[in-house]
Amino acid sequence: MKDLRGRMEQELRGISFIHPDFNLTPLNAGALNNSYRLETAGQCYFIKTFESDEVAVLDRRVLFDIQKQLYGRNLSVRPIYISKCNYFQIDSWSRNQTLEDSKLPLNVIISQLASALVRIHKTTIEAPTLDLPKQWQHYIDFLGSNISENDLYPLDTYTKTWYQECAKGLVFCHNDLALSHVTCHEPTTIFDWEYCANSSPYFDLASCIAINNLNHNAEEALCVCYAKLMEQPVSDVVSRVQVMKPLVEFTNRLWYLAAKLTV
């Protein structure tokens, strides 16, 4: 999507609650998507643009409706507006500090991260079910000749593993829970729900470990905290997370390879 900011600014000028003299301040961008602080008529909002839609297959209208459910459960900031052409979304502004920015001890951060995962997994939300092999195939088709047969060698094994794990039970998951997505003040607010779905909780845990680059001790502590809060055997949580970790690595590799083609 070329000149997405220009298209966004043009649409913003036609929104009733936005004054023509609005101000946009760029924030820390993600790997593809950009985000902004929007100031208008004495109010402040958060805007995220959707450059990643060139790579990912995401139904932004469905995700907007899911976030409205999450806001009703005090899990998310309020979604306010979604672009008519799905270029961007406007949310309410949160002034709360995230775990990434906090000065909390690591053990407290890990505990709060586990609590956030448990809270998500215990929440019933009307959401699609994650079909991870279908997502992989989309990335593979997008990459075309830019991926080797060697890269695809584990595809059949991972597909079988995924469906076997999903048959054991699904819960609502975030699937991208970085420290920057969790506030450290009660009640905890969680951001960036674009990959949420009904999915394997252990894939969600493994994704959380990967995206936050947790070392072995932090990973172990996260699994122990999660198991205790969910009243599950620690050994079961650890073993099932280990099963999911290669699938997370495979997913991330395909995504980053595809993302490179759009830069």
Instruction: Please tell me the pTM assigned to this model.
Output: 0.94
CA dihedral for 110, 240, 205, 231, sign (positive or negative): negative
Report d(CA 237, CA 83) in Å as an integer: 40
Q: Of 92, 122, 138, which one is at a domain's C-terminal end?
A: 92
Q: What is the mean pLDDT of residues 252-258?
A: 94
237 and 166 share a domain?
yes
Report d(CA 155, CA 258) in Å as an integer: 16
Report d(CA 239, CA 235) in Å as an integer: 6
Domain assignment of residue 97, yes or no: no
40 and 72 share a domain?
yes
Q: Which two tokens stand for residue 44?
A: 């402040």
Q: Which residues contact 134 (CB under 8 A, 6 or more apart)?
A: none
User: Does residue 214 register a pLDDT over 60?
Assistant: yes
The domain that contains 88 carries what CATH number? Answer: 3.30.200.20
Q: Of 26, 59, 92, which one is at a domain's C-terminal end?
A: 92
Report d(CA 231, CA 75) in Å as an integer: 22
Q: What is the mean pLDDT of residues 216-238?
A: 98
75 and 122 share a domain?
no
Q: What is the mean pLDDT of residues 108-137?
A: 97
Q: What is the mean pLDDT of residues 227-256?
A: 97
**Bond preceding residue 105 cis, omega within 30 of 0:** no
The domain that contains 150 carries what CATH number? Answer: 3.90.1200.10
Domain assignment of residue 213, yes or no: yes
Which pLDDT score is estimated for 2?
56
Q: What is the pLDDT of residues 171-186, one digit of tens each?
A: 999 999 999 999 998 7
What percent of the chain is predicted at pLDDT more than 70? 97
Q: What is the mean pLDDT of residues 139-155?
A: 93
88 and 127 share a domain?
no
Mean pLDDT score of the chain: 94
Q: What is the pLDDT of residues 16-64, one digit of tens each?
A: 999 989 999 998 766 678 899 999 999 999 999 988 777 888 999 999 9
Domain that holds residue 29: 4-92
Domain assignment of residue 66, yes or no: yes
232 and 126 share a domain?
yes
Domain count across the chain: 2
Task: List 24's β-bridge partners, or say none.
Answer: 38
Of the pLDDT bands very low, low, confident and very high (cuts 50, 70, 90), residue 263 is: low
